Structure 1
Amino acid sequence: MGFGMEGWTVKSHTRLKRVRARALAVISFLVIGMGAGAAVAYDVIEVAHGGTVEGVVRLEGTVPDPKGFNLITFPDPAYCGRISNGRGWRLLRDFVVSQDAGLKDAIVLLEGVEAGKSFETSVPLIEARDCMFQPFMTIVRNGHAVEVINMDPVMHDIQGYETSPEAGARTLFNTPLVMNHQHHRGDIHAIHNHAPGKSLVGPVYLNKGRRTFYMQCGFHAYMESWAMAVNNPYYALTDSTGAFKIDNIPPGTYQLVVWHPQTGPGLTKMVTVQADGTVKEQLSLQAPKGNRSAYKVMDNPRFGPESLGHSIDIQPLVEHQH
């Protein structure tokens, strides 16, 4: 199975207007009609003499520049601009790479494990905070729920797409994520007191052959988050150094999958785990080349705040991006 994905972007103001109109209707987050993606059965057993797979995932090639988004082309530029470069641009850093090329937020998982250690079933939480989805990468058990909650004093519009390299993207859900009406923005220069707005909770059913879904805010295109549905608990997300560790693995031979949403098809290889043994892997994913975004950061008065014809105060009060 390939794991290459291509992200979706909001490509026109016309589309944003249509999204705003749809946001007036309350749409259930429950995703229905996708029973073909039923979860693979997994049995919990006591693992005797389990093994470990550990190592590092590195990015091979030049680290791509962050994507740039001109804040005046999106709603709430002053509030969302509290994280910006100080010149009216919001940067999306979808590659976090350490000094020795360790890649953060790559998923490493083992395919083919049908029975083993207990499978955590808690509902993953994705927060919209400071006009950013956190975390950038989420793991959800196949067919189980995911929760999205708004911590900002502005409305967001959640658009979710399941993805596959063969069939592209297919809409999973499109629903407004409203703010708490008691949640006041207050002084934009003050430290914002985040309070939760309405929470959206529902199961995610992916079509057969699809394992990932992508979420973006229809109002603020620089807000994006990725998730992968897994069939067993033998997975890990790489840390800030690119390191990962998967333990208590039943002895056997499995397919090791390494994937990051922006690096193409990812990597697959077979690994054999011995009883009480440790498999150490040095893995790499290829950095994409060329222009990845229709948006390019530039200092041009025609695209700056002054082009609006009125004063707007966009200051990076939370984070001055570079």
Structure 2
Amino acid sequence: MSRHVVRPRFCVSRLICCAIVLALWLPAQASSYEVIEVKEGGTIEGRVTLQGDVPEPKGFNLITFPDPQYCGRISNGKGWRLLYDFVVDRKAGLKDAVVLLEGVERGKPFDLSVPLIEARDCQFKPFVTIVRNGHAVEVVNMDPVMHDIQGYETSLQAGTRVLFNSPLRMNALHHRGDLHATHDHEPGRSLVGPIYLNRGRRTFYMQCGFHAFMESWAMAVNNPYYAVTGPDGSYRLDHVPPGTYQLIVWHPQSGPGVSRMVTVGPQGRLVEDIALEAPKGNRSAFKVMENPRFGPESLGHPVDIKPLVEYQQ
């Protein structure tokens, strides 16, 4: 499927992108990366697991947000939308954790293409994205409803600051009145622009101001030795030049992450299984409540919210 791409010509304040969050365990500024032929490169692989009880998904009452019927195509059948920000398999494998090496100044080619973030069925896909620092992101709206993208920058020193608040127009190619319609249409005009992160800040966060259950996180990298864990929590970094590096594992909802020093020998194979601690206690005010006052009938007119795309449990 072809798509029309706008060449990068937007300033950062107009980008439909993510907010920047300070990651204290990352260096303030990385040196430029040099591509070389990696001889006798090694491999780092393993699994990232979640230690502790898996947090309950966040619950959002759809009648308190715009477009409850369309966004309710993914819901629990009782008028609530769930955000599964922790996806864990039966063996505690954690999906969407970022694994990267810091300190690699020379190595294999850095061929990270422009990542695409889609607003689809009132959710951002993917939940976690990797972007090359100083390069671009592309965002498209596949939905027949409008989204309002809010970006935030935060640090422990400077606090939180709104970077931008930019509308993402609805996709007129989607059959707006048909709740059964699929996304077999063109994405339409996209927004593309470079991301230049402030000193020492490497992760950024995107949320829809109309639909709070739409979240997406991303991390900027300075070398190609990174991975996002799959459904079983597994990852693999290959063609690693022999040497000692900082291995970092991070998940957007599990706290500051884990860092350890690793040494890769010539043609070596290093297995590093890492556990991230699950957050404890009440981590969010967004919870599903069995209260008739929060049901569709409270609006005073019929609202039929059916999970036609995904029935959440």
User: In structure 2, how many angstroms separate the alpha carbons of the residues matched to 1:113 and 1:192?
Assistant: 41
TM-score (norm 1): 0.86
Consecutive unaligned residues in structure 2, runs of 5 or more: 1-12, 21-27
**Which residue pairs with 1:180 in the alignment?**
171
Question: Could you tell me which residue of structure 2 aligns to residue 29 of structure 1?
Answer: 15
* Alignment of 1:213 onto 2:204: yes
Deviates more, 1:168-177 or 1:280-289: 168-177
Match for 2:288: what amino acid? V
Deviation per CA, 1:266-322: give whole Å up to 9, x if none: 100000000100110111000001122212201211111111000111000000100
CA contact (8 A) 2:16 2:168 kept: no
Number of the residue aligned with 1:254: 245
Matched AA of 1:282: D
Matches for 1:135-150 after TM superposition, within 5 Å: 135-150=126-141
When the two structures are aligned, how many residues end up with a matched partner?
A: 292
- Alpha-carbon separation, structure 2, partners of 1:165 and 1:225: 21
CA distance in 2, matches of 1:265, 1:191: 38
Does the 8 A contact of 1:162 with 1:169 survive in 2? yes
CA RMSD of aligned residues (A): 1.9
Q: Conserved in 2, the CA contact under 8 Å of 1:45 and 1:115?
A: yes
Residue 269 to residue 167, structure 1, CA distance change in 2 (3 Å): farther
1:139-178 correspondence to structure 2 within 5 Å: 139-178=130-169
Residue by residue over 1:79-115, the C-alpha shift from the partner in whole angstroms, topping out at 9 and shown as x without a partner, is 0000000000000000000101000010000000011
> What is the alpha-carbon distance in structure 1 between the residues aligned to residue 185 and residue 56 of structure 2?
30
SS in structure 2 opposite 1:284? Answer: strand
> How many percent of aligned residue pairs carry the same amino acid?
72
SS in structure 1 of the partner of residue 272 of structure 2:
strand
Q: Which secondary structure does the structure 1 equivalent of 2:131 belong to? A: strand
Q: Matched residues in 2 for 1:189 and 1:303: separation?
A: 25
Contact 1:163 1:214 in 2 (8 A): no
In the TM superposition, 1:25-64 aligns within 5 A as 28-29=14-15, 40-64=31-55
The AA in structure 1 aligned to 2:248 is V
- Displacement after TM superposition at 1:199 (Å): 1.2
CA–CA distance in structure 1, aligned partners of residues 54 and 210 of structure 2: 28
Instruction: Confirm or deny that 1:289 pairs with 2:262.
Output: no
Deviation larger for 197-206 or 305-314? 197-206
Change (3 A) 1:195 1:290: farther
Question: Which residue in the other structure is 1:14 paired with?
Answer: none
The amino acid across from 1:299 in the alignment is: E
Classify the secondary structure of the residue corresponding to 1:211.
Answer: strand
| 3-state secondary structure, aligned to 2:273 | strand
Query: Match for 1:238: what amino acid?
Result: T
Deviation at 1:126, TM superposition (A): 0.4
Task: Give 3-state SS (helix, strand or coil) of 1:78's partner.
Answer: helix
For the 8 Å contact 1:52–1:276, the answer to whether it is kept is yes
Q: SS where residue 298 of structure 2 aligns?
A: helix
Q: Which moved more, 1:244-253 or 1:192-201?
A: 192-201
- Residue 176 of structure 2 aligns with an amino acid whose one-letter code is R
Give the superposition deviation at 1:205. 1.5
What per-residue deviation string (whole Å, max 9, x for no partner) do you get for residues 159-194 of structure 1? 122344554443333211112334331321454545
> Aligned equivalents of 1:143 and 1:191: distance in 2?
35
Unaligned ranges ≥5, structure 1: 1-26
* 2:65 aligned residue (48, 69, 74): 74
Q: In structure 1, how many angstroms separate the alpha carbons of the residues matched to 2:279 and 2:248?
A: 19
Post-superposition Cα deviations, 1:210-248, rounded to whole Å, max 9, x if no partner, equal 110000011100000000000000001111111000000
Q: Does 2:299 align with 1:313?
A: no
TM-score (norm 2): 0.89
